[in-house]
Amino acid sequence: MQKKIERKNKTFNCRRYNARRKSKRKEHITYFKPEAVPALKNILSKIGKPHVTPFIPDDFQIKALEAIKKTDCLVIAPTGSGKTWIAREAILLVLEQGGRSWYASPLKALSNSKWIEFGLHFDQENVGIITGDTKENTEAPIIVGTTEILRNQLYDAMHEGKDLKCDLVILDEAHFLGDAERGVVWEEIMIYLPARVNLLLLSATIGNGEEIARWLESIRKKTCVVVTEEERPVPLYPLFLHPSGFLHSFLEGKKVSLPVADFIRRSDEKRLRGGRMPDYIGIIRVLEKFNLLPAIFFLKSRAECDVALTARGLLMPLRNNMEFDYSLNELLGRFPTLRHHRQLNVLRSLGLASHHGGQLPAWKMLVEEMMNRGHLRVIFATSTIAAGVNFPARTIVLFNSDLFNGNDFNPMSATEFRQMTGRAGRRGRDKIGFMLTIAGKFMDLNHIRRLLFQKSEDILSQLKNDFAMVLNLLLSQTPEDVRKIFERSLAAYQQNIRHHGVDFSASRSLWNDFLRHLKFLQREGFVDENGTLTDDGRWASKLRLDYPLLVAQCLRENAFSEENEKILAAVVAFFAYDRDDEMKLTVKDLPPKLALSFKKVVLAVRPLIHRLEAAGFVTVKLHTSAGVAMYFWAHGHSWDSVIKTTGIAEGDMATLVLRTADNLRQIVSLKDIYPEIAECAHKAREAILREPVLFL
C-alpha cells in the first residue's frame, strides 16, 4: 500500500510526488552571479585552517575522565568536541588495570569504524568486535559492538547466573534511549547492567540529562556525574542565500537579519512552488567562490539525493590530484565491486556524491572516507546521515525545515537540528563552520531561527514489551521479578517525578501488557501455568528476532527446509523484510520448489497470525517478493541482476540480506534442538553473505 505524505494539509502520493520531481528536474530556482554582502567580509575572512597546537584536554574532558574512574558518568557535548577521547582514555585506564571494556553503538557501520580506530590505537590483539554480521577476537579486553548484542549478553549472563565479563560499558549516541523503535534496548541495558560496572554515556543531544542521571542513581545506587559542554569546538555561523545569488547573514542578534525578514515578507510561493529542482550547481558555485566547501546538502529523500547528481550547469572538473587518485584507488581496492558503480564517474570527475539508506554499505563507507580525507566538494544526503556517521564539512546546507519520519512530515526538532548542524565545521581543519539556508516552499526560516536557540528535547522512556523480551526475562526472572523491573524503569521514574509523587500507573501499564504477552505464551505452550518457560519456551528465547513466535512455529511444524539452504534463506527472508513491498516480482516468478516451500510456511504460521491478531498483537505482513529476491541471491545470481529483476534499492536489498542472515544466525544457535535445520541455516548464511553486502 502506497504511503501518503501529509504536508501542510495537502496530501501527496509519495511515488507520484517523487516522479513529478524527477520529470521537472530541468526547472531550476536559478541563482545568478554569486555575491556576498559587504557585512560578511569579516566573517568570511575567518575561514581557514587553525594553527596546529599541542593537544590539551578541555576541562569537561578531564572532569568526565575523573568521574568515570570512580562511578557512572553522562557526557553531553557537541558533535566533534572530543567525547571519543574520553572513551579512549577511560578504556586505557581499565586496560592498564587488567580489566575489560565494552563499547556499544547503535549502528553496525559505527561499530566497524570504532573497531578499526581502536585497533590502531590499542593494538589489534586487544580489540574485538561482535555485531550480527561480524565476530572477531571475542575474548579481547576491549569489545566493540551494537547495543542489541550487549543487551543479549546481559540476558545470557542473567540466565546463567554469571556476572558480565566487563568493568566498563560505554554507550555511544546515548540519546537513542528516546528512540521510538530501539530505545527499549538502551533502557534494558541500563536496568540489567550490574552496578559494579561503571557506565559511560555519550551524547550530543539530551535535553534532560540531570533527570536521566537521577533515575540511574535510583536504580544503580551509585552516583552518576553529568558533564555538559555547550561550546562547539568549531563556531557555527548561519547564512542565507537569496535566490538572486546574494549571500547574507541569517541573524542579527537573535532575530533574523533584515534581508531575511524582508524576503519572508516578500516571498511568493508561486515562484517557489514545490516540484522544482533547486539549482544545486549554482549553489555549489556560490559556496566554491567564498571558500565554503566541502558541504553536506541535506535533502528530503533518497530520490532527491540521486537526482541532484544529474543537475545541469557549469561546474569545473576537479583538478588532477595525486592524493585524490591514491585514496580512491585504495578504497576501490578494498571494495572492488564498486569499480562499476553508476555514481563513481560523478564522484571522480566533480567530487560530488550521494549518501543515503538506499545505497550499498560499501559505497557509503567509500563516500565517508573520501569526505573525511577532504577529497569531495559536496555530499547530497538525507537527514539520517546526521546520526552516528562521522564526516563533518565546512558547511551544511538546509533546503527544508521539516523532515519525513516514515509516515508524514513534521517540523524539524531541536535534536534533529543539532545533529545536522553538528556536522558543520571540522575540528583541526576549520576555524569556523557554516549553516546555509536555502529559500523554498518547505523552508520556514522563522522555524530555523527558533531552532538555533532551542536546546535538545527531553528524552522519554520507550520501554515496551515484545515476545523476545518476555521470553528472555523469564529465562532468569519470575513474573514478580519482572514487575519489580518495571517499577525501576525510566517510564515509572519520569511519571513519578513529573507528577510530584508516587504514581506507578506507568509500571502498571507495562505490567499489564507483560501479562497479556505472558498469557498468550501460556496458551501457545511456551510458558507453563506457573510463569516458567517450557522446553519450547527455552529454545524459543534464543530467537532474538522481531517475530520469534512465527519462526518458532515454523520449527515446530517442520515447515523449514533441512536440505536446501537456498530455499531456507528465501523463506526466512519472509520474516526479515520490514519495508512496503515495492518490488517488481509476482507469484508467477516463483520457481515451483520455492512456491511449495512458501505455501508450507504460510500454512504453518497463518493460524498463529490469526490468533495473534485476535489477541491484539501487531503481526508481520509476509512479502513473497522478498523471498524470491533472496532465493535469486542465494542461488548465486549476480548482484546487478538481482537488483534489476526485483527493482529494489541496493541499500534495501543489502539490509534484507543482513537481516535474513541475522535470523539464520539465531536458527543456527538451536543446533542442539534442531541440528539438521541449524546446519542448513549455517550454509544459507554462507550463501548470502558475500560481496558486495559483506566486505572487509
In a domain, 695, yes or no: no
**Do 505 and 495 contact (CB within 8 A), yes or no?**
yes
* Each residue's pLDDT tens digit, 622-664: 888 889 999 999 999 999 999 998 888 899 999 999 999 999 9
In a domain, 460, yes or no: no
- Both 29 and 90 in one domain: the answer is no
pLDDT confidence of 441, banded at 50, 70, 90?
A: confident
Determine the average pLDDT of the residues in 83-98: 96
- Both 209 and 74 in one domain: the answer is yes
Determine the average pLDDT of the residues in 60-81: 96
Q: Is residue 503 over pLDDT 70?
A: no
**Do 661 and 688 contact (CB within 8 A), yes or no?**
yes
Which CATH number fits the domain that encloses residue 276?
Answer: 3.40.50.300
CA separation for the pair 627, 583 (Å, rounded): 11
* Each residue's pLDDT tens digit, 530-589: 999 999 999 999 999 889 999 999 999 999 989 899 999 999 998 888 777 667 766 666
pLDDT value, residue 583: 73
Query: Which domain, by its residues, includes 21?
Result: 4-49+240-451
- Both 590 and 666 in one domain: the answer is yes
In a domain, 153, yes or no: yes
Burial class (CB in 10 A: 0-12, 13-18, 19+), 454: middle
pLDDT value, residue 577: 84
pLDDT value, residue 45: 92
pLDDT confidence of 268, banded at 50, 70, 90?
A: low
In a domain, 461, yes or no: no
Size of the chain, expressed as the number of residues it contains: 696
- Both 83 and 192 in one domain: the answer is yes
In a domain, 261, yes or no: yes
- Both 533 and 407 in one domain: the answer is no
* Each residue's pLDDT tens digit, 197-253: 999 999 999 999 999 999 999 999 999 999 999 999 999 999 999 888 889 999 999
Q: Is residue 16 over pLDDT 70?
A: no
Query: What is the rounded average pLDDT for all residues in the chain?
Result: 89
pLDDT value, residue 383: 82
Nearest one of 105, 187, 181, 110 to 146, comparing CA atoms: 105
Cα-based torsion angle of the residue sequence 109, 111, 117, 118 in order, rounded to the nearest 10 degrees = -170
In a domain, 557, yes or no: yes
CB atoms closer than 10 angstroms to residue 354: 26
In a domain, 233, yes or no: no
Cα-based torsion angle of the residue sequence 651, 654, 660, 663 in order, rounded to the nearest 10 degrees = -80
- Both 180 and 129 in one domain: the answer is yes
- Both 392 and 492 in one domain: the answer is no
In a domain, 31, yes or no: yes
Nearest one of 167, 218, 191, 198 to 477, comparing CA atoms: 191
- Both 147 and 191 in one domain: the answer is yes
- Both 524 and 655 in one domain: the answer is yes
pLDDT value, residue 620: 81
- Both 557 and 662 in one domain: the answer is yes
Determine the average pLDDT of the residues in 39-57: 91
Determine the average pLDDT of the residues in 468-489: 96
Determine the average pLDDT of the residues in 92-102: 97
- Both 404 and 259 in one domain: the answer is yes
For residue 87, give the C-alpha cell. Answer: 572513551
| 185, 206, 228 - which closes a domain | 228
Q: How many domains does the chain have?
A: 3
